[in-house]
Chains A and B, each alone.
Chain A
Amino acid sequence: MELAEIITRVNTAVPGAIVPTEDDAGFIQVEPKHWLKVAQLLKDDPELRFDSLMCITGVDEGPEGRLWAAYNLHSMELLHKLEVRIFVNRKNGSIPSVANLWRTADWHEREAYDLIGIKFKGHPDFRRILLPYDWEGHPLRKDFETPDYYRGMPVPKDKRGWE
């Protein structure tokens, strides 16, 4: 199915879920509050059947911008692809978790939280996945400041004496 057809189909089932973007953007942008319904539709609709979530990518636009997550979906049965982007605001935005629909989302959402700090509501096991549990901050954010020490070990390079 082509992108335009997918958009029409989602729009008839869940009105107002898709935020209009430029025609050749190549992705659909979904409001966080409609995401669960849209995800269910994308997975179960016989014409869509996106049974595989390939990847979730978290992105930070910078201190003035927003955070967003890009979901790359693929249908093993109908062999079409789709990218869904969900934008949230930096301070307190959160996205409903789809870990119960696609198992892939479980660890990918934890990774996006760990490194970018996007919160996913309703995740069954919401912890950091890569960094130690006592780590502070989300290191792939543009405004992340490297701490001076972690458990007594110096983190930044000590350049005294050679620079």
Chain B
Amino acid sequence: MDLSLDHRFEKDNILVGKLDDLINWARSNSQWYFQFGLACCAIEMIAAAQPRHDLERFGAMPRASPRQSDVILVSGTVTLTMATRVKRLYYQMADPKYIISMGSCANSGGPYWEHGYHVLKGVDLIIPVDVYVPGCPPRPEALIEGLLELRKKIREETPLRKVS
């Protein structure tokens, strides 16, 4: 018997499925992102949230508080001063939390990779990143691709079982 969520079971309003699938379905379709618009990349992040690209059709909506968000979207140059804040806000988020690093700056330091005394060389030095979106800046399409990659990743999780 097919036990996927969208399989109808005899009566019309009954669904049979795995709880893991249900949780993953819910999580992957509501990626409320905590916006770190730190530099030029933020403009593309904003463009992606606007009607033309409309991130909200994927259930992703910008929040300005770590308590309400599921995904951190680091878009821009993470300076050392900001890095201390990024780290603190990451610890204030409730589990499950995911991180998308958008743009060369957040991935690896970008244009400041060698001579920027004040730039963190990749946000993955302080917090664990799930998806890297390359580009300087990435187009909104690239960001959407990143969100969809993250969605795939969430769907493969097994929240009720211990991962061996």
Q: Which residues in A have some Cβ–Cβ distance to B below 8 Å?
A: 131-132, 139, 144, 146, 150-151, 153-158
**Chain A residues in 8 Å Cβ range of B80:** 132, 150-151, 153, 155
A132 touching B81 in the complex, CB below 8 Å, given contacts A146-B117, A157-B109? yes
For the complex, is B4 an interface residue (Cβ under 8 Å from A)? Answer: no
Q: How many angstroms from the CA of A153 to the CA of B81 in the assembled complex?
A: 11
**Contacts across chains A and B counted by CB atoms under 8 Å:** 27
* CB-nearest residue of chain B to A144: B117
- Please, what's the 1-or-0 string for B88-120, where 1 marks a CB less than 8 Å from any CB in chain A? 000000000000000000000100011001101
Complex interface bits, B35-63 against A, C-beta within 8 A gives 1, otherwise 0: 00000000000000000000000000000
Q: Does B26 contact A (CB under 8 A)?
A: no
Tell me the B residues contacting A by CB distance below 8 Å: 80-81, 83-84, 109, 113-114, 117-118, 120-121, 125-126
* A139 with B125, Cβ < 8 A, contacts A151-B84, A155-B80 known: no
Q: Check A139 against B121 for contact (C-beta < 8 Å).
A: no
Q: How far is the CB of B126 from chain A (nearest CB, A)?
A: 6
Nearest residue in B to A154 (C-beta to C-beta)?
B125
Which residues on B sit within 8 Å (CB–CB) of A131?
81, 118
Distance (whole angstroms) from the CB of B76 to the closest CB of chain A: 17
